[in-house]
Amino acid sequence: MTTVSLTINGDRRQVDVEDRTLLVDLLRETLGMTGTHVGCDTTQCGACTVILDGKAVKSCTILAVMAEGAELRTIEGLADGDTLHPMQQAFCDNHALQCGFCTPGMIMAAVNIIERHGTDIDESLVRRELEGNLCRCTGYHNIVKAVLDVAGKLPRASE
């Protein structure tokens, strides 16, 4: 067992984990933070996306011990009390989620797009950036709309 110290959503945490523990399992199993999901075992689906030291990463492909000293943000830390993060609000407003399973990872990836690119984004950039997050319900149409909505750039009025 190894002790890992990291900051999760602003709280400093110390957790004992087996060396082979994945970061996503530390979140879900050790800490009971089940907002971050697991949809595959090959780093393809992106349901486990979190923001680690300012970068969107897939937490199923990082060992928990590699997050030593890191600052981690997950879906649980995004809203400010009852006030949703603008990306969460845009997902609701644009019906950018159906079953909601990919949503936490999708939102974290989307938040990070805005953080890295600012609001100077267009549909093709958003689509390229979200290529690593799979959604089976929405056909991505409304997800792309939601991200552009946050950036103030909805391309067209049609649904």
Q: Which residues bind other proteins (CB under 8 A)?
A: 20, 28, 32-42, 44-45, 47, 74-76, 78-79, 84, 88, 91-93, 95, 97-104, 107, 123, 126-131, 133-145, 155-156, 158-159
CB of 147 to other proteins, least distance (A): 10
Name the residue nearer to other proteins (CB basis): 102 or 151: 102
CA 146 to chain centre: 14
In the complex with other proteins, the residue whose CB is nearer, 4 or 38, is: 38
Strand order through the sheet with 2-8: 11-17, 2-8, 71-73, 49-52, 55-58
Q: Which residue stretches of 20-132 are H helix? A: 23-25, 86-93, 103-117, 123-129
* Shortest distance, position 34 Cβ to other proteins, whole Å: 4
Shortest spacing between CB 23 and other proteins, in angstroms: 16
Q: Which residue matches tokens 């990306």?
A: 87
Residues 83-103 as b/e (b if ≥16 CB within 10 A, e otherwise) read eebbbbebbeebebbeeebbb
Q: Which is nearer to other proteins, 71 or 93 (CB)?
A: 93
> Of 67 and 91, which CB lies nearer to other proteins in the complex structure?
91
